Amino acid sequence: MTFRRAALVVLILVLLAPLALAGGWQAFLRFQPDRQRYPVRGIDVSHHQGAIDWPAVAADDVAFAYLKASEGGDHRDRQFAMNWRAARQAGVRVGAYHYFTLCRPGVDQARNFLATTPPDVDALPPVVDLEFGGNCGTRPDGAALRLQLDAFLGPVEQRAGRPAVLYMTDEFRRAYGGVLPDRPQWRRSIVFKPSGRTAWTIWQFHNRGRVAGIKGPVDLNLFAGDRAAFDRWAGP
């Protein structure tokens, strides 16, 4: 290959690279796991999504939504109560989640979560969000984490009347998976199906999804079974 021809090839590759990257990004944004295998879709939101048009969300094939209720021992999401009422009115099954901080006692966090969430009998099982992103710098050993997590789960599960769900990132699971209690798992694994032998109940497969009624990106999730299995799991 002559120098001139080689230079032309390089130039073409340079010119085509942005198109290839743009195409890959668009493919990522459109990614959806097999809808026949996983027909029950959901989202999780907080105040970061701003005002939400819940009837539009419900019409966009969203069956369930987990709403951020609280964080740590004193923070409460300012959109939670509004989202809870509006989502239920739109016919979306709702549940609440708590972001568990590693530097506050579990009993304080449970008190905050229970004070924020209504004791609705038809709510989805409560969720505790376990991740390092945005957390405090404390890294307790496994025994200390389990002690505080159990202190949170005790009163929360007592009121709910059923086991809570553990949401976790792969990083958190690698660090503490060996000491976590046996609970249904909600796994965050963007695009790729969750790995490992442990069964999961919910899969968060996208973090830049698009749903009608929400301006900007939103987390997308799916349930592990069909609609009948979801209804049995979700409760009354």
131 noted as active-site residue: yes
44 noted as active-site residue: yes
For residue 94, give the 3-state DSSP assignment: strand
Q: Give the model's pLDDT for residue 186.
A: 97
Sign of the torsion formed by the C-alpha atoms of 83, 30, 199 and 72: negative
Same domain, 9 and 62: no
What does the CA dihedral 30, 201, 74, 138 come to, rounded to 10 degrees? Answer: -90
Residues in Cβ contact with 1 at an 8 Å cutoff, skipping those fewer than 6 apart? 9
Same domain, 57 and 150: yes
Per the residue annotation, which of 60, 108, 131, 170 is the catalytic one?
A: 131
Report the CATH number that the domain containing residue 87 is assigned in CATH: 3.20.20.80
Per the residue annotation, which of 44, 71, 77, 129 is the catalytic one?
A: 44
Residue range(s) defining the domain that contains residue 58? 37-234
Same domain, 135 and 178: yes
What pLDDT digit, counting tens, does each position of 107-133 carry?
999 999 999 999 998 999 999 999 999
In the chain, the number of structural domains is 2
pLDDT in tens, the chain (236 residues): 555 554 554 555 555 456 455 566 566 667 788 889 999 999 999 999 999 999 999 999 999 999 999 999 999 999 999 999 999 999 999 999 999 999 999 999 999 999 999 999 899 999 999 999 999 988 999 999 999 999 999 999 999 999 999 999 999 999 999 999 999 999 999 988 887 777 999 999 999 999 999 999 999 999 999 999 999 999 87
Same domain, 58 and 3: no
109/105 Cα distance (integer angstroms)? 7
Say if residues 57 and 87 touch (Cβ distance below 8 Å).
yes
Nearest to 100 by CA among 65, 62, 126: 126
